[in-house]
Structure 1
Amino acid sequence: MSLNPKNLHLWWRLSSLLILLLQSVTSLNPDGILLLKFKYSILSDPLSVLESWIYDDETPCSWHGVTCTEIGPPGTPGLFRVTSLALPNSQLLGPISEELGMIEHLHQIDLSNNFLNGSLPYTIFNSSQLQVLSLSNNVISGELPELVGNLTNLKLLNLSDNAFAGLIPEKLPTLPNLTVVSLKSNYFSGSLPTGFIHVEVLDLSSNLLNGSLPNGFGGENLRYLNLSYNKISGTIPQAFAKRIPGNTTVDLSFNNLTGPIPGSEALLNQNTEFLSGNADLCGKPLKLLCTVPSTASTAPPNATTSSPAIAVMPKPIETTPSTNTTGTPTQNVSPGGLKPVTIAAIVVGDLAGMALLALIILFIYHQRKKRYPKIPNINATVASNSEKKEESVISRQVADARTTTASLPCSCLTMKEEATSSDSDRESNTAVDIMAAHGNTLVTVDGETNLELETLLKASAYILGNSHASIVYKAVLEDGRAFAVRRIGECVIERMKEFENQVRAIAKLRHPNLVKLRAFCWGPDDKLLICDHVPNGSLATIDSRRGGACSLNLSLEGRLKIAKGVARGLAFIHEKKHVHGNVKPSNILLNSEMEAVISDFGLDRLLLNDVTHRGNGSARQQELLALSSSPYARMASSSSTVGLMAYQAPETFQNVRPSSKWDVYSFGVVLLELLTGRVLLERELDQWHEPGSVELEEQNRVMKMVDVAIKGEVEGRESVVVAWFKLGLTCACPVPHKRPSMKEALQILDKIHVK
């Protein structure tokens, strides 16, 4: 339980009494007893970094990760007190105990890159001598309280890559010794605080900060400022920019900033990418120049002051001839100088143009009706053309999904009685209604999507795919936004709070090569996951993959681009200490730029109640066998007998915990498929894994395996092909510890160039 300021004094008295009792039965000093309290709050210590922490020692100064300093008056012997606790990268799991903040002379706490959870105890903020607090890359949640203002000696604060939320404390910038602050990749919201006078490094990127840039921000001592990937809007104030030194790195990219960039030295010296992602921002150093507005001073003295929209409207034409000062009748001319005949011609021309536009729209409408005729029976089978030897994977998914939908226990998605279909479409154009069930609740989890349940219920949807436990739809809202909606049919999680916790944990991982999870819908029978819709289908369905082979209509450079995108996404997942566990072509989506975007991360926790993550190998084997027997599994092989298990590492069938090496193996199979155009069977991989198999004399054999669609591109690039092939084989090695990490695989891929 976290303490609040009201009962903090009582807790101190109880803790002091407990320490006295423990000291009566042990020789360990008070600092050591407090550290043991921290040890016993840790739920898991797989690396045994706390094994040396025992009661038998007089002081904790010899313990792993603990540093002591002699404290006492100058010239006299003092006591050795704990001044530093550093246990980064130790895989510790559990909360941070209140006792840690009671160590009197603690100067440094470094517990970064662990699995620490819960919220920060209030006692931490009473550590007046604390100078370094580094808790980055954990799963700590809650708010950062204003009590942080008590840490007057704090020099470095690193809470990045956690799950903190709420406002950034106003007292944080006022700390007199604080020079380095990193709160990136959290859920901090609200406006940017002011008064950053002493801070030199400030990283608040990838949060939910909004509002505008404040005039009183400060920044006189900044050397690095990163506010990218927030929701900051408005113009960049001149007062904000002029105080920042000219040699400071300033990253304001991917916000909602507008207007001209102030001509301060700090902003003019930035790279363009540090200001990109703001659609309405203009001026140097961006290539988008600001338009020069017209001013009233350029107009004639007698010019009209009416608005431009009114000023261009012709005034009514007088029906009677006017008379000049001499009494002579004048011609019937409009004040603007246009004759009535000219005005009539303009009106006739406008009407003719509108009529022509209406005819074009009517023609297009009739052409679309001819192209997409209505199918009267929704369960009608795909037309059996004698010249058509096999139907596409998506056509089979659509036909089977039409039958499956009626039998699923969920009632949130119901098929309409009309459908249209086209072989050229990657998506089924089967319209569906999203109907509300009693008690349904829609919850957004990304902190930025504005979506209401009523809006989702009005969406038209189209089937994208089907699996053994869920159906995926493309939902198009009335305002034109498109989402991918997964309807879960076999949902084991019975409590909404548990479901929400799992979904929020998934949504927290944000990366350009991962599909963004936006919201979920919870009902008694219906569970929906709402994600971004990725427009170009998946690697399994691109160009329909007819015949099952990977005869992609992609260049060698395009395939390498996809491989690097998948590697970046998986490396990020592994960096966050997670495992995807189901990497395959159908889960590798392609966006409008043909960049790879990985989907279905964390889905197994929701569909199977995290069975696979509990190490139940037999359950996983049954699941994979069920999947491989499904018609949707045969999507990436020249043989119909090769299915999803081709992408699964051999050890996944054993009773072991999930490992990042599973994903490395799957990536290796995909990497080889991108190069060869087909899935290599297990016996083929075994042949290549024989010692000395990929030597110089084997280059011709490797070159012959390249996909025929890119044969012309690989001529003269033998070194590229061999390096690609060897990396794929190394990743798909049957021995897990011989596989590289995804970070290492990405480093190798980055060195492969095809231009």
Structure 2
Amino acid sequence: MHALLSLALPLLLLLIIIICNCNVPVDSLNGEGYALLSLKQSIHEDPDGALSNWNSSDENPCTWNGVTCKDQRVVSVSIPKKKLSGFLPSSLGSLSDLRHVNLRNNKFSGSLPVELLEAQGLQSLVLYGNSFTGSLPKEIGKLRYLQNLDLSQNFFNGSLPTSIVQCKRLKTLDLSQNNFTGTLPDEFGSGLVSLEKLDLSFNKFNGSIPSNMGNLSSLQGTVDLSHNLFTGSIPASLGNLPEKVYIDLTYNKLSGPIPQNGALMNRGPTAFIGNPGLCGPPLKNPCSSDVPGANSPSSYPYLPSNYPPAESSRDEGGKSGKGRGLSKGAVVAIIVSDVIGICLVGLLFSYCYSKVCACGKGKDENSYGIEKGGKGRRQCFCFRKDESETLSENVEQYDLVPLDTQVAFDLDELLKASAFVLGKSGIGIVYKVVLEDGLTLAVRRLGEGGSQRFKEFQTEVEAIGKLRHPNIATLRAYYWSVDEKLLIYDYITNGSLATALHGRPGMVPFTPLSWSVRLKIIKGTAKGLVYLHEFSPKKYVHGDLKPSNILLGQNLEPHISDFGLGRLANIAGGSPTLQSNRMPAEKPQERQQKSVSSEVATTNSPSNLGSYYQAPEALKVVKPSQKWDIYSFGVILLEMITGRTPVVHVGSSEMDLVHWIQLCIEEKKPLADVLDAYLAPDADKEEEIIAVLKIAMACVHSSPERRPTMRHISDTLDRLVVSGD
């Protein structure tokens, strides 16, 4: 028996060792991996297989979809727009190095686990577009490094915890479209001093607006407090916010006079509508004398007579003078110095012209001039000696210039192809060109002349050719010669937005665009403009945005076209184009009677109403501004909501669409009175339509500084859920 035990004991030990060695691979995943696996286990729907490679057999989770590590520690979990359905487990709080969580546009539900807020290094928590419920835990104040908190489009409720003011580094706070209630913390404005974006709209916040919100000097874009239950008066301190900030206070229960100072001054009524208790400008209902503050200086616009600029007449020692402005002697001295300066500049220019631009007397005529059209006519172009000499030798030799490596056709193929006229305007003719291999292109002919400016044209067209964005028409190639200038684009199949909205004169009945399609077009156009304004090499301005310049692709996706076309046509020496920003203002009747070109078929077609899309200041200011595009975009939004052209006929008279909408808002007309009749089947989308209308009214604000940036507009539009997304 003893011998048998002696033999069995080593075998038993060997068996235990084998079993232990077999279990080693199973336990190889580290603790952070198991914490994330608990998230996978809490998800009961993953239709796209976003978490398919989250496996327990891995050593760590650093190679998993949506997981980012640094030094083998999880720092980011980002799984947006994957239709994930489930809840957040408390184990996520054990990821001690976690910095970023982005689960936007999924189907998560349940409450926000308190344990998640134990990851005190968290910098960004983005959960918008889900179905979270419950209150925001007071532990949010522990996140001292938090910069971005976006909980919008959920079902959070309860009051905003006072501890949130401890998040001193918070830059973005978006709680819009939830069910938050209660008052804002008293120290809201004094605590969140780094705040750049604030959106509390579409909640049930009540009580007064904290007066210290005027201390948030870093705010940008739109401060949206609309669609809440705020009461009391508007704090005059809100005027201390940066003047470029647009403050949306619509649809609350505010009362009393509207302060007219700083960021609150000279506002249109659209920022205050939906507050029956408000009075004074810019609203039509005046304040009665018994309303507190009705006669206070803050209730009226500042006028020069209200504040004589005494400080402007200080002497060199810094002491204030008598406040009567400049003396007669000072004025005379300024005028004399200006005249002398102008004379000196004129003499300097004459000297340079005589030295650099000598094109005739006593000199070889060809030394600084170039021949135009080969007909013996010569012209002098100052400060372009090298450019002109090179071009005069080579301008006839230029071939088709590709701007894309995928361009596989040459000039001969292009000239032999079948061509159909798509449209004509003052800028030139546009052709649909079908090559022998079936490739379809859009070719714009800019006309003749202007050979001396080839280098300038080349620089401009090649910069435009580098722009690549799914919502911008792509310039593929160009051709330049003395007698011909061509721009070759991708052909966009479904025509323009103008035709899709209004049809074409003599056209058979067309299929109207549904609201969901219109909203997709709006969003795509906004993204294209954001790219032009912020991500293109020169932060471009389109300058001539209108529905006829927004082309629709195979799936009705928008492509912004004709960008930079006016400048290219001007350089090419064609017909004067896009000069409306230098023309005096015209009356609506005068503008409507003019057509863009005598070659265009119908004067009243939407494509001929371009001046109505231009910002008011474009008629006075020469230098283009991105705010011009934002105004044009706002008019397009109004057109898509109302189905009307930019000229609205009211009885025997007419007014532009912007003023007509403003009048409808002031008269409190129901949405059905202004809505496109074709949108009647989309009556259930009223909230979305109103939200876009609000954006449009902000875009067409008469003051450029009050208009939001295109990035803010695009971000706001992205919060609107479109059926089929």
Q: What is the TM-score normalised by the length of structure 2? A: 0.40
- Choose between structure 1 and 2 for higher RCO, CA contacts under 8 A separated by at least 6 residues: 2
Q: What is the TM-score normalised by the length of structure 1? A: 0.39
